[in-house]
Amino acid sequence: MDNNIRREIIMDNYQDPMNRGLIEDETYLKVNTNSESCIDNLDFMMKVEDGVIKDIRFDGEACAISTSATSIMIRSLIGKSVSEVKEILLNYQHMINEEDYNSDVLGELNVYDEICKQPNRKNCALLPSVAIEKMLKEIENSR
């Protein structure tokens, strides 16, 4: 991917992220990701109905990579089934961790395919996927 396009997508999502701001709604699941390795601190909330992601929202303070990755991920996941989301998260994590992955399922998230060149930013890019995975596990455990 061209570096300028990559930067433009990331900057757009950093400066004007999708679904920033939490709402009062008890039907959402909530988690906080207070990263141990950096100072990113984001709250997430997610609504799942009939096995489909209806909404994800977030708020808090985080760097450009975490914030933009959260925004892009939210856009990529809303409307998808839980099993589709799991596949996207798995492939996304593989991409960030330099393992084999299927780029076809990642869409715009492919803008982070070179983040591994900056090892100190891997956790930033992984932050939203960790949070969403945590919420999915909570759903599974509550069954």
Spatial CA neighbour of 72 closest among 61, 83, 54, 56: 56
Angle at 45 between CA 9 and CA 69, to 5 degrees: 20
Cα 7 to chain centroid distance, Å, stands at: 17
Question: Which stretches within 31-81 are classed as H helix?
Answer: 64-77
Which is closer to other proteins, CB of 7 or CB of 137?
7
Residue closer to other proteins by CB (options 46, 124) is: 124
List the one residue from 10, 46, 48, 88 that touches other proteins (CB under 8 A).
Answer: 10
Name residues contacting other proteins, limited to 18-47 (CB under 8 A): 38-40
Scanning 8-16, 83-91, 100-108, 129-137 for contacts with other proteins by CB under 8 A, the matching segment is 8-16
Binding residues for other proteins, total number by CB under 8 A: 17
Classify the C-alpha dihedral 78-84-90-94 as positive or negative: negative
Cα 134 from Cα 30, distance rounded (Å) = 10
CB of 41 to other proteins, least distance (A): 8
Least separation in angstroms between CB 47 and other proteins: 28
Binding site for other proteins (CB under 8 A): 6-7, 10-11, 14, 38-40, 61-65, 118, 120-121, 124
